[in-house]
Chains A and B, each alone.
Chain A
Amino acid sequence: MSTALAELQKTFFASMRDVAAQTEQLMPSLAPGRHATPEIGLAIYQNAYSSRLREALGNDHPLLGKYLGDTLWQQLCAGYIDAHPSKVRSLRDFGASLPGYMTVTEPFSVNPQTAELAQFERRLLDCFDAADAPLATWQSLLATPPELWPTLCPQFHPSVQLHRADWNSVEIWRALKAEQVPPEPNAVSANWLLWRDPELVTRFRCLEPDETQAYAHFCAGGDFAGLCEALQERHQAETVPGVALGLLQRWSVEGWLTAWS
């Protein structure tokens, strides 16, 4: 490719990102405008660049923006757009690094519930359009010979995601969603599981300790026998199979599972 075109595009794009020195370098490459100066024409592109990316972040994080308020939200957008130029083809993915950016950037990093809130909104997005997969029904497990049950390794639907919270970020999200005053930030650990139900509605709920343990066990490739063994830390041995099967039945009804092994 012609170096001249590549150089022109580099300079033009740098100018769009508001690099003053690059704008000066670009000007000789622009023809005089009929109605206005090339500077005004360039300003249209500069404005469109930042406003389009801000709009994408706003679409993905409506409640985070509400929680932060306009001043902090604009500060967040400007900082993120500057620090994370888009390397993706779809604006849907532009904000994927926003939660991580907030964990290392003040004042958001000293208010960690904000990054968690951003992470939760991102997980909702990822859940919404995750890949489809046929669900494994409880009936199909019952049709499986019992002698195979110890080796079962349930597989989770692609939409299933764990949100580990160290703060009450989900409670804050819920209050904002209901247009209520959000609670004060509070350090409280919880494991939330998000999934898309068979009607394609995104759902989430807080996991019980057994479920947290079972989810981690199966994600690590563990089998049903291993889970039963692990659950004996909290349950009588004779009740463990019932507890474990109870978890699997609930999960299959809710639409979390795509295969039993």
Chain B
Amino acid sequence: MQTQPRPYLGFGLGLRAQHLGEILAHPPAAVDWFEIISENFMVGGGKPRRNLEFVRERYPVVMHGVSLSIGGSDPLDQDYLQKLKQLAFEVEPAWISDHLCWTGIDGVNSHDLLPLPYSEAAIKHVVARVSQVQEFLGREILLENLSSYVEFSGSDMPEWQFVAEIAQRSGCRLLLDVNNIQVSAHNHGFNPLDYLAGIPIDRVWQIHLAGHSVHGEYVIDTHDHAVPNSVWSLYGAAIRRFGAVSTMIERDDHIPPLPELLAELAQARAVHELAIASP
């Protein structure tokens, strides 16, 4: 498996059903690429696959999964991996990503992205599984950092060290969700700039931008709000550290009209350009 330099796709959006009509009618020039949820397209055919073909003919696409369970204790799901590989064969994505988490146990899926203890044992466990997945897919994958609401007493290092070690030892790349860093920094009381400083520059291939909700003492990663100032600020810091990284707005709920997301994407370009110009 060959190691590639970081590709740069520009500024993208998550492909959401609510916007498909507009995208099919008038493919927006302001969007450089789209991210799809891999599982949504592991279906036989029909409109989902037809629409994806349309988008793929016009834009670069990256695949983003939610079910790999790279930190899980069940054996890797070979059927799922086969479907992922087949979809990648058909879509030819720029890259494939999933989350640095576990999603279930004993064959039962929580459909949530659950945190791991930040320990050497967990690093070894995840690295071995990333290697299996990369070997099977024949390509590097990207792993995304989570937002989390609990920490484990068995953790003996900060999250960024855990993430960095896994990326360096396994050879995988990283999808940094800047909002998730901000959320976890609040919930667990660390400095988000320390997080960025602990991440190796060459590992970061993609950035997610999103919003969150404040619920009492906790900040919850709902991905259902506009990108707040705190996340824009941290994004600028990330670009100053990592350089030009493909960036997208990820809205998962309360999906606004497309022009609203395009406006956020324009803001991302502006923040990005400013950060590149003043490192």
Contacts and interface: CB of A to CB of B under 8 A. Distances in A.
B152 A31 contact: yes
A16 B109 CA distance: 12
B217 A13 contact: no
Contact of B49 (A13, A86, A132): A132
Given A6-B73, A40-B217, A86 B150 contact: no
B59 interface: no
Interface in B38-87: 39-40, 42-50, 67, 72-73, 77, 80
B75 to A, nearest CB: 9
A94 B110 CA distance: 11
A246 interface: no
Given A30-B150, A89-B109, A129 B43 contact: yes
Nearest to A88: B109
Nearest to B149: A41
Q: How large is the interface on A (under 10, 10 to 19, 20 to 34, 35 or more residues)?
A: 35 or more
A34 B149 CA distance: 10
Interface stretch (A47-55, A97-105, A185-193, A235-243): A47-55
A5 B112 contact: no
B42 A128 contact: no
A53 B110 CA distance: 9
A196 B215 CA distance: 44
A48 B148 CA distance: 12
A44 B214 CA distance: 12
B151 interface: yes
Nearest to A94: B111
A5 B217 contact: no
Contacts of B77: 89
A87 B107 contact: yes
Interface string B137-153: 00000000000011111
A57 B264 CA distance: 31
A10 interface: yes
A130 B39 CA distance: 15
A38 interface: yes
Contact of A44 (B40, B43, B73, B149): B149
A29 interface: yes
A4 B121 contact: yes
Contacts of B107: 87
A9 B153 contact: no
Contacts of B220: 44
A128 B46 contact: yes
B150 A52 contact: no
B236 interface: no
B188 interface: yes
Interface in B1-56: 39-40, 42-50
B108 A33 contact: no
Contacts of A218: none
A30 B152 contact: yes
B154 interface: yes
Nearest to A34: B189
A44 B149 CA distance: 7
Interface in A110-144: 128-133
Contacts of B111: 49, 52-53, 56, 86, 91, 94
A130 B47 CA distance: 10
A48 B107 CA distance: 19
A34 B72 contact: no
B113 to A, nearest CB: 10
Nearest to A131: B44
Given A35-B218, A87-B107, A89-B80, A159 B151 contact: no
A13 B125 contact: no
B104 A31 contact: no
B191 interface: no
Which 10 residue pairs of A and B lie closest in terms of their CB atoms, listed nearest first? A131-B44, A132-B45, A34-B189, A35-B217, A6-B73, A129-B43, A41-B149, A41-B150, A89-B67, A36-B217
Interface of B: 39-40, 42-50, 67, 72-73, 77, 80, 102, 104-112, 114, 116-117, 121-122, 125, 149-155, 186-189, 215-218, 220
16 contacts: A4-B154, A6-B105, A9-B105, A30-B151, A33-B150, A33-B151, A35-B189, A35-B217, A40-B149, A53-B111, A85-B108, A92-B39, A94-B111, A130-B44, A131-B44, A200-B47
